Structure 1
Amino acid sequence: MELNGSFRALHAGLPEDIRRLKVHGDLEGALAAIERRLACGNTPAEMRYALTAQAEMIRRLPGNFPYRRGEALDLVREHIADFGADEFDEMVRDGRVEWIYVNGEPRYFGRFFETLCKVDARFAARAGVVPAGIEPPDENGESRLDRAARLMREKGSMAVRFRCRALLRLKDELFRPGMKVSAALPLPCACPSQSGVEIDLVSPQASLLAPEDAPQRVAVWNETMEWNHDFSVEFSFTRRQNFADLSRPPKQPRGEAPRLDDTAELPPHVLFTPFMKSLAREIAGGAETALEKARRFYDFITLNVKYRFMPDYFCLEDIAANCARNLTGDCGVQALLLIALCRVSGVPARWESGWVTRPNFCSGHDWMAFYASPFGWLYADPSFGGGAARDGNEARRQFYFGNLDPWRMAANTAFQADFPVPWEGWRCDPYDNQSGEMLCDGRGLRWYEFTSAKEVVSCEEAE
């Protein structure tokens, strides 16, 4: 099994002594206890895989939660001079600021300020911050997303032709001549909404361009580096979204028939536990059709789950169920919960992810698709739906059940899929493929050890 395959055993859990050490924040003690367990000859194989993954997760936790209380307050006060400690403590009590214990002391999430600015317009205005990706409406007072929904309803579809660029570069301070370096960057994949995919530029020449139907499509380089340089790709594609009118059954279903794995568990984050089965039954209520079940699951998420930036997925456990427990999560967490609720109820569901691609803005994003007869495969974007609910835009919230806007690029059609080449070290993200990965001499690099960038070079609406 590849190292990253160890995550598939996370649902084995932790021995009680190690779990207590981790929760209390005695991370060194937890790592030492894991080493002792791994040294025992009677530790079952599944537990060994789980402990191997947990050890690396524990090592990465402090980097995700870097701030002491005073440091967190100082960060906010750089933007809001009169921000009070009591305000911060109230946000923590309300679950708006995530934290863990490190050596018995609370440490606060590195992106808590970004989350507050994204989900609380008053806080953002007070801080003088315009969150990334926020655009003013056009001259008619219409937002980009509302315009896309309107055009799709009026014309039946909307298409955009994109050219995008992505790059990776090892940090100069880490470079040594003669290093064996591997790099991987996402490429647009084949899916029902994408066509005309062209790889315009690859620099330097890649060792592999994965086929368009790869579940996680990448360009891969393997090189003994004598000088440090960028690894980059440029590509073009057309994204066309056809409008699905859920009030009018089509003559034939969209897409291929579901596969068996579209209704299967996907350990460790999509599990058919008693809790998930009970939750799905409660939310579905008397719904009988796949469409109505999926709609009720979507409504539950978009009307109840609050958007939060997340720690690295590398460090997360039981993602779908924890989203349901905590009622918080980012785009991928919400998509996984919707997939889990659908699958545990017998509704086929799949992952899709890549980027949001708009003029002057490009960022990672995740969504999903589900199969409902007689419509076939339909898209849903619960985090965009939840954002619409946050904005009081019910029409837009309804749109993202069954439909997507075309301002996006898909690189992945599966969650937790392997790259098409062996990957010796830990991936930064062992589940998704949005920003690239690097290996140096067989060791997987962390986000802070290399730079990555993505951008939309050009985009034009197409007929």
Structure 2
Amino acid sequence: MNKDLKYLDTQLPEDIAKLKAVGEYDRVERIIDKRLEKDLPVALRKRLEQEKEILPIIRDSYPHTYEAALSLFKDNIADFKTEEFESLRDEDALDWVYLDGEIHFRENILQNIMKTRPNYAKRCTNPELLDKRTNLLNETMHKMKEKGELTYHIRLRATLKVKPEAQKPGEKIRVHLPLPIEYAQVKNFRLIDTSHKSALVNEPDHPARTVYFEKEYEADEEFYVEYEFDNHMVYKNPLLEEVDEAQPTFYTEEQLPHIKFSPYIKSVAKEIIGNETNPLEKARLIYEYITKNVMYSFVRPYYTITDIPTYALTGFKGDCGIQALTFITLCRAVGVPARWQAGLYTNPETIGNHDWAQFYVAPFGWLYADTSFGGSAYRTGEEERWKFYFGNLEPFRMPAVSDFQHDFTPALDFSRNDPYDNQNGEAEFESGKLTYNDIETTEVAIEIYEKED
């Protein structure tokens, strides 16, 4: 299915685009069905077919009415006023769409404000909404710089279950659960257990590595995988004067629909780097531009955004993946090799989805760039941590993807919930896909500890 993603670069017909903008999704779907009965160019047909997949995802992503969203803020922020809510709207800090002519907001708009607006976080009356990672990150960064390297042992268990209302006992089910790729910072991987012994495990270097289950589904069945590995990080401080004159050209190509060198992308890239020719400094300038100018923001599923870098560089907001892909696109546009790395961020306190980037400069090899963690450090005045995340990561990552929008092996028959990433698992029945609303996925850190030399 991922081979059709390139058609998202095809523009929607004007009438459909206008109806989508005001949230008349039922009418859009009827018009698309009628349009698909006609003889259409392949690119437009594929684009309309995918739009039918995208519309229900958008509808599910924006549950809060204006009144419900405003109440959420007033209930969790001391003395919060309607005028403040409207000010946040004017700043484009509250993600919204029109559904059936009425404005609706994302389910996590409050968490987004707590994460990115310190003045509101100070007034928060619900401590569960606040980010507690800063101290741990600083301590780990300092230890890694002092020792020159740092290793953490990580043992995880990932689970997928089909919700009762979506179960189809007796029908064939296909399930993919992520596994760490055995490359880069991953060492000593060991598969400990799977729920079914017939599971297929991808090759160690598969770009979207999973364990795959295919069987006749039984009611209330659970699919799981448990594994362990070491995350070994070496601190790097690359210097401009040590950069080789000859540089590779791999990972500098376009990759539709998102990694493309449009006139706008090339213009922004040129403004950022100016006349700079050193690839390390080019990458640094791009990192600094994104971390200073693109505000972190939770967003709707990536499948519903048809040009991620332009989304980031026109709205100047985006989450970890949007920022990482923007960094990759800008780097490639100026000839610096860059690629995707993503999976889980997991430390002794928390676990969750995360995306970041790698870029290549000879003779240093592959270096890391985490623009979202770096941007957070920049906004809070943590200059040392801001600089650290250009070139380095802490050892709290489980990388399960090394190539953006790489397909599973074996590929699913129906469209994936997230065709670009590989973080929580996907599943489908033989008769149709299972959406995020149909499944429950969990990731549990069984043990995480620092390994001594």
Whether TM exceeds 0.5 here: the answer is yes
**Aligned counterpart, 1:169:** 161
CA contact (8 A) 1:301 1:334 kept: yes
Matched, 1:75 2:64: no
CA contact (8 A) 1:117 1:131 kept: no
1:139-288 pair list within 5 angstroms: 143-247=135-239, 262-288=251-277
TM-score scaled by length of structure 1: 0.93
Residues 259 and 164 of structure 1, relative CA distance in 2, 3 Å threshold: farther
Percent identity, please. 35
**Aligned counterpart, 1:35:** 33
**Aligned counterpart, 1:19:** 17
* 1: CA distance, partners of 2:162 / 2:221: 8
**Aligned counterpart, 1:93:** 90
CA contact (8 A) 2:19 2:27 kept: yes
Matched, 1:109 2:101: no
| Per-residue CA distance 1:235-269 (angstroms, 9 max, x = gap) | 1011111111123877999xxx9876501111111
Local SS of the residue matching 1:126? coil
1:360 CA drift (Å): 3.1
Local SS of the residue matching 2:256? coil
Structure 1: segments with no counterpart, 5+ residues:
138-142
Residues 206 and 300 of structure 1, relative CA distance in 2, 3 Å threshold: farther
CA contact (8 A) 1:249 1:374 kept: no
User: How many residues are treated as equivalent by the alignment?
Assistant: 452
CA contact (8 A) 1:206 1:219 kept: no
* 1: CA distance, partners of 2:233 / 2:445: 19
1:321 CA drift (Å): 1.2
Matched, 1:46 2:38: no
Local SS of the residue matching 2:422? coil
* 1: CA distance, partners of 2:233 / 2:318: 26
Matched, 1:426 2:415: yes
1:131 CA drift (Å): 5.4
Query: Match for 1:16: what amino acid?
Result: E
1:449-460 pair list within 5 angstroms: 449-460=438-449
CA contact (8 A) 1:73 1:85 kept: yes
CA contact (8 A) 1:6 1:52 kept: no
* 1: CA distance, partners of 2:165 / 2:33: 31
* 2: CA distance, partners of 1:67 / 1:349: 37
**Aligned counterpart, 1:140:** none
* 2: CA distance, partners of 1:21 / 1:437: 31
Structure 2: segments with no counterpart, 5+ residues:
none
CA contact (8 A) 2:406 2:420 kept: yes
**Aligned counterpart, 1:342:** 331
CA contact (8 A) 1:342 1:348 kept: yes
TM-score scaled by length of structure 2: 0.95
Local SS of the residue matching 1:53? helix
1:14 CA drift (Å): 0.7
1:191 CA drift (Å): 1.8
| Per-residue CA distance 1:127-153 (angstroms, 9 max, x = gap) | 32335683377xxxxx22222222222
Query: Match for 1:32: what amino acid?
Result: R
Query: Match for 1:375: what amino acid?
Result: F
| Per-residue CA distance 1:269-320 (angstroms, 9 max, x = gap) | 1111000001100000121111011100000000111000110112112001
Query: Match for 1:70: what amino acid?
Result: E
1:364 CA drift (Å): 0.7
* 2: CA distance, partners of 1:22 / 1:274: 26
**Aligned counterpart, 1:56:** 53
Residues 363 and 242 of structure 1, relative CA distance in 2, 3 Å threshold: same
| Per-residue CA distance 1:346-396 (angstroms, 9 max, x = gap) | 111010001111013110111111111232211110001001012110111
* 2: CA distance, partners of 1:26 / 1:167: 37
